[in-house]
Amino acid sequence: MSLAGKVLFITGASRGIGKAIAIRAAQDGASVAIAAKTADPNPKLPGTIFSAAKEIEAAGGKALPIQCDIRDEKQVQAALEKTVAKFGKIDIVINNASAISLTPTEKTDVKRYDLMHSINGRGTWLVSKLALPYLKKSDNAHILNLCPPLSMEEKWFAPFPAYTIAKYNMSLCVLGMAGEFRQYGIAVNGLWPLTMVETAALKIAADGMEERKSRKVEIMSDAAHIILTKNAREFSGNFCLDELLLRKHGVTDFE
């Protein structure tokens, strides 16, 4: 149950859940490539690829900060090549990068709609596609998408259809690629919070939500660690909810 010696490629890992997953892996001694856009500090969204790298190394891992826009094929390919040049391989891909707009149809700008779909769905597909040749060489390869379980109920779509559809594109990648990549022994799974998780981006999107109603990002990184340490040939095509997965593995204290 360790990620020691593993190499992770994580999109959007300069802050939030992506960074938390990176730090948890670093505590095992893993190496992490941080592929994210933020290289300069932003007053609204704290954290950069460089500050995240420092935290990862302080936790016991190795870090490679890479400024990368996952909408750009050439940038993604270059980021993957830099990771392999630095660490020699890629064992795990975490598709964490997402754009969010919790708005109804009338209040969703077309530009924002396009952004969510180009990052969430297309970006996840592109990173997974280009990482495939490297993952094929790993002895326990995983792709983990931060996406919701597929459930065709009106209640999940009605509040903010554009965002839900964009996230479901990531979920559809899990469904399709789990079957497609099974022949290579590559696991593809999804992870989603059972309850709201506190992140800087969500605070902005939810317009001042109450922090007391939100859990810390570590619940997601602990759940991700369980998934990523499983046998890739035996655990694939699953949509996991953080608390339920942790309870199944003996965690009872969620304070």
Q: Which 8-state DSSP code applies to residue 37?
A: S
Q: Is the pLDDT of residue 214 over 90?
A: no
Q: Is the pLDDT of residue 52 over 60?
A: yes
Percent of the chain with pLDDT over 90: 85
Residue-wise pLDDT for 163-176, tens only, equals 999 999 999 999 99
Mean pLDDT of the chain: 93
Q: Which residue has the tokens 């990184």?
A: 221
The pTM assigned to this predicted structure is 0.93
| 113 annotated active-site | no
According to DSSP, the residues that pair with 7 across neighbouring strands are 31
Task: State the pLDDT confidence band at 154, using cuts at 50, 70 and 90.
Answer: very high
Closest CA to 121 of 146, 103, 151: 146
Closest CA to 126 of 82, 188, 87, 74: 74
Q: Which of 113, 134, 163, 168 is catalytic?
A: 163
